[in-house]
A and B are shown apart, each in its own frame.
Chain A
Amino acid sequence: MIKQFRFLSVFVLAVTVIWLTGCSDKPSDDKKASESPPSKTEQMAPKASVSDEKPATTAIQKPAEYAADPVVVAAGKAIAVGRSQGNCLACHMMEDGASPGNIGPPLLAMKARYPDKAKLRAQIWDATAANPESAMVPFGRLKILTDDEIDKVVEYIWTL
């Protein structure tokens, strides 16, 4: 509990710092993603003119359609692999995660297979909605993970 709390506060702190220093120019949810092209150009124009700003390079390295916030992804990964939280590795192979189970399919190429992020989220929120016999834990419905935690897990899973 304490650990989780500490983790959360570190996370909040990190997000705040990043937000304040302006090194993350990426939108954090779908709605903003759809309006991102104009905002991006807007952001880049002033940045380019201010010579002592650094983020111009980071912006160029990111894929045009979407760029996952590394901090959110890292937080999502921590939740996904943590034994007391998502514990997804109990049933799924994910990257090089230690001792994965194989009750569920390996989580691979998720972006290609789930172009609709909401569908991916629904699977994690309550797998039994789509498949009543699913052995997968209904993380959202049974309040094992909070909505916010699930959002972060989705961000991470989508990078796989």
Chain B
Amino acid sequence: MKKILISLAVLALTATSVQAGPEEDRMAFINYYKGKFPSVPDNEYANGVYAIDPVGRENWEAIEEFPPYEPFIDAGQEMWEKPFANGKGYKDCFPKGPAIAHLYPHWDKEQKMVMTLPLALNHCREANGEKPLKYKKGSINNILSYIAFQSRGNRVDVKVPQDDPGAVAAYEDGKKFYFTRRGQLNFSCANCHLQNTGLKVRTEILSPTVGHVTHWPVYRSKWGTVGTLHRRFTGCNKNIRAKPMKAQGEQYRNLEYFLSYMSNGQELNGPGARK
């Protein structure tokens, strides 16, 4: 297993230095995709698979004319503005306003963990005596849609403080998850979204990892509704007959941390619409 991990890492990370930090990793990803898709401009990756699939893109652009996620943004705005039973609201927890998606995920020094936006939203609720929302389906997607929409135009800007061993370890853990083969079908995320990006599994073209986090939550035709990034992780894990991890558990949060760093500099353009 270790050997496979390392060999895949070598495939991806052409950095010559032994101690490849997050920035070297990111550059290796970018350069790898550049080699694969020389005509795709850097800022296109935020559009996911549509950056590299001209046929799917036409369909997608037609869908974006009447965005299927719009009602969820409206419902989310209501949530944002409606006070909790105790009279306080999200506004009190997040004084910077709703345009905050680019501030997540981040390393929380005090709690020594990767803090994601859904987790922060639920912490706010619980601190105010409200029940937490579910992390994959349901109304968490409404408020996330509103925040995503308000955050459009900001850029992914994840930091891994190198002087904090906890943060570095969380990043490395997420990276390891990404490169580890799992499930009965023996796939790593990298097998599909790095090694075989641009090729097809049946009719599905595999998207690049850079750009994976920019547009959540996503309205998926297959779901018939909007769903969270961790719901998507669950789906990709199930497809390879692997046991999915807990949404917002440590493993998926660390994975999100790594994945988000790979998208640094990309523009946030959520909510998104996908097949």
Q: Does B169 contact A (CB under 8 A)?
A: no
Q: Does A2 contact B (CB under 8 A)?
A: no
A135: which B residues are within 8 A, CB to CB?
Answer: 187, 191-192, 195-196
CA distance A101 to B201 in the complex (A): 4
A101-160 at interface with B (beta carbon < 8 Å): 101-103, 128, 132-133, 135, 137-138, 142-144
Kindly report which residue of chain A lies nearest to residue B201, judged by CB atoms: A101
CA distance A143 to B241 in the complex (A): 13
> Are B184 and A142 neighbours in the complex by a CB distance under 8 Å?
yes
> Are A144 and B185 neighbours in the complex by a CB distance under 8 Å?
yes
> Are A133 and B8 neighbours in the complex by a CB distance under 8 Å?
yes
With A137-B185, A144-B185: A91-B4 Cβ-Cβ less than 8 Å:
no
Q: Does B245 contact A (CB under 8 A)?
A: no
CA distance A128 to B195 in the complex (A): 14
Interface centre among B7, B186, B192, B196 (most CB of A within 10 A): B186
Q: Does A68 contact B (CB under 8 A)?
A: no
CA distance A8 to B60 in the complex (A): 43
The interface on chain A, measured as residues whose beta carbon lies within 8 A of the other chain's beta carbons, has a size of 17
Distance in Å: Cβ of A133 to nearest Cβ of chain B: 6
Distance in Å: Cβ of A147 to nearest Cβ of chain B: 17
> Are A144 and B184 neighbours in the complex by a CB distance under 8 Å?
yes
B195: which A residues are within 8 A, CB to CB?
Answer: 133, 135
A103: which B residues are within 8 A, CB to CB?
Answer: 196, 199-201
Chain A contact residues, majority secondary structure: loop
CA distance A89 to B8 in the complex (A): 25
> Are A102 and B199 neighbours in the complex by a CB distance under 8 Å?
yes
CA distance A67 to B103 in the complex (A): 66
Q: Does B202 contact A (CB under 8 A)?
A: yes
Q: Does A51 contact B (CB under 8 A)?
A: no
Q: Does B203 contact A (CB under 8 A)?
A: yes
In-complex Cβ contact of B202 among A101, A128, A143, A144 (8 A):
A101
A132: which B residues are within 8 A, CB to CB?
Answer: 3-4, 7
Q: Chain B 1-12 against A: per-residue CB contact (8 Å), 1 yes, 0 no?
A: 001100110010
Kindly report which residue of chain A lies nearest to residue B200, judged by CB atoms: A101
CA distance A135 to B196 in the complex (A): 8
A128: which B residues are within 8 A, CB to CB?
Answer: 4, 186
Kindly report which residue of chain B lies nearest to residue A83, judged by CB atoms: B202
> Are A89 and B186 neighbours in the complex by a CB distance under 8 Å?
no
> Are A138 and B4 neighbours in the complex by a CB distance under 8 Å?
no
Distance in Å: Cβ of B190 to nearest Cβ of chain A: 10
Kindly report which residue of chain B lies nearest to residue A135, judged by CB atoms: B191
A102: which B residues are within 8 A, CB to CB?
Answer: 199-200
Pull 13 A–B residue pairs with CB atoms less than 8 Å apart, ordered by A: A100-B202, A101-B199, A103-B199, A128-B186, A132-B3, A132-B4, A133-B4, A133-B8, A137-B185, A137-B187, A138-B186, A142-B185, A144-B185
B: which residues have CB within 8 A of A? 3-4, 7-8, 11, 184-187, 191-192, 195-196, 199-204
A: which residues have CB within 8 A of B? 89-91, 99-103, 128, 132-133, 135, 137-138, 142-144
